[in-house]
Chain A
Amino acid sequence: MSKFRNKKKEVPAVNTSALPDIVFMLLFFFMVTTTMRETSLQIDAPRLPSATEVKKLEHKSLVTTIYVGKAKDAKYGTSFNRIQLNDKIGSADDVPAFIINARSKVSEAEVPFMTTSIKADKESSVGTITDIRLKLRDVNALKISYSASKKTE
């Protein structure tokens, strides 16, 4: 008798079968939203130099990135001095056009806060960087950031 009553009183298990669905939805949301990279790299991912005095780059929409490194495609040679602007390999002479193009995408008031981030491989030569720098100066894009990974002492 007592056995019988016990069975009747047992709380029915809560149906949790929807829980995995919810979590999967979250998972997919994360997988979709975290964009891996905006432009596909035409050069080998630069091995960034490390530095201690680094600052975080804020306002991602105001940052234009110039990549410098070794081209993946062998037809561009094997030196570490290829410059990638947008999706293709260019030269320092293409930098002004690139910057002006990037500028047209933001409102005028924000132009002075635009930063150019130079992501260069540590084996690139200073000459290439200087060429870019001179071109940037020509179009008055004066804020630059040498991309580097944070080194802890």
Chain B
Amino acid sequence: MARRENPEINAGSMADIAFLLLIFFLVTTTMNVDSGVSKKLSEKPPADYVPPVIKEKNIFEVSINRNNELLVEGERMDIKDLKEAAIAFIDNGGGEGKVENGVASGRCSYCKGERSESSSDHPNKAIISVQSDRLTEYGTYLTVQDQLLKAYASLRNRLSIEKYKMPFSELEEAYKDDKNNENLKKKVEFIKTSYPQIISDQEPTK
């Protein structure tokens, strides 16, 4: 009789169920971290702007047609080969570098390219020009951009490992964590200016 007096329901598992739900929510709701390929647009040129004359050999031409096919330096190419071709072009180092603030950077001392006369002079002179058609698929366009950025990234990484014994991505990460570290800042700047990302977007063809 005493037992029937206290018919308490065992609610112990209720907590477990609630926890299960909670964990389910925690796992499924992605905080939706946006990620993307970042790019900086060039400023609008003034009306009377005359573009500087650039030597043909310092321009790496990539065109994408409306069937998403690639034409690189006048030859058809698969997207998967683009990275290597871009690396070969940027890293060529066939001549004198740019003169900045009256200081000539001279020949590229860290390049490992072929030093061919017909390809780019110096990484800081090498320009990659991407031309696409208006009807090119955006996906293809972005893949091309990505491949080019990858080419730069691997060159930067190589130089960074050579000089500072750590990949560039880690170097940048370390700098982000310690913004006031002048030494790190100098290193990051050096790598960045050694292989500046000069990718220009041409007006698409109609």
Contact = CB atoms under 8 A, between A and B. Distances in A.
Interface of A: 16-17, 19-20, 23-24, 26-27, 30-31, 34, 49, 51-57, 60, 63, 65, 68, 115, 117-118, 120-130, 133, 136-138, 140, 142-150
B138 A49 contact: yes
Interface stretch (B19-27, B50-58, B99-107, B182-190): B19-27
A23 B15 contact: yes
A20 B35 contact: no
A34 B29 contact: yes
A118 B64 CA distance: 20
Interface in B12-37: 12, 14-15, 17-19, 21-22, 25-26, 29, 31, 33-37
Given A53-B153, A130-B203, A125 B135 contact: yes
A149 B68 CA distance: 20
Interface stretch (B71-79, B86-94, B118-126, B142-150): B142-150
A55 B44 contact: no
Nearest to A55: B38
A138 B37 contact: no
Interface of B: 11-12, 14-15, 17-19, 21-22, 25-26, 29, 31, 33-44, 64, 132-139, 141-143, 145-146, 149-150, 153, 201, 203-204
Given A19-B14, A117-B36, 19 more contacts: A20-B11, A20-B15, A23-B15, A27-B22, A51-B142, A51-B146, A53-B146, A55-B38, A57-B36, A65-B34, A122-B137, A125-B138, A126-B204, A133-B201, A145-B34, A145-B36, A146-B39, A147-B36, A148-B36
A117 B142 CA distance: 14
Contact of A123 (B29, B42, B137, B150): B137
Secondary structure dominating the interface of A: mixed
Contacts of B33: 56-57
A30 B25 contact: yes
Contacts of B143: 49, 51
Contacts of A146: 36-39, 142, 145
Contacts of A115: 38
Given A49-B139, A125-B138, A144 B15 contact: no
Given A53-B146, A122-B137, A23 B19 contact: yes
Contacts of B132: 126
A99 to B, nearest CB: 12
B37 A54 contact: yes
B18 A55 contact: no
Contacts of A144: 38-41
Given A53-B146, A122-B142, A127-B135, A27 B18 contact: yes
Contacts of B35: 54-57, 147-150
Given A31-B25, A137-B43, A20 B18 contact: yes
18 contacts: A16-B12, A20-B11, A26-B22, A30-B22, A49-B138, A51-B142, A122-B138, A122-B142, A126-B133, A126-B136, A126-B141, A127-B134, A130-B204, A140-B44, A142-B41, A142-B42, A143-B41, A148-B146
A120 B142 CA distance: 10
Contact of B141 (A129, A140, A142, A149): A129
Given A51-B142, A142-B43, A125 B34 contact: no
| Highest count of chain A CB atoms <10 Å: which of B11, B18, B137, B142 | B142
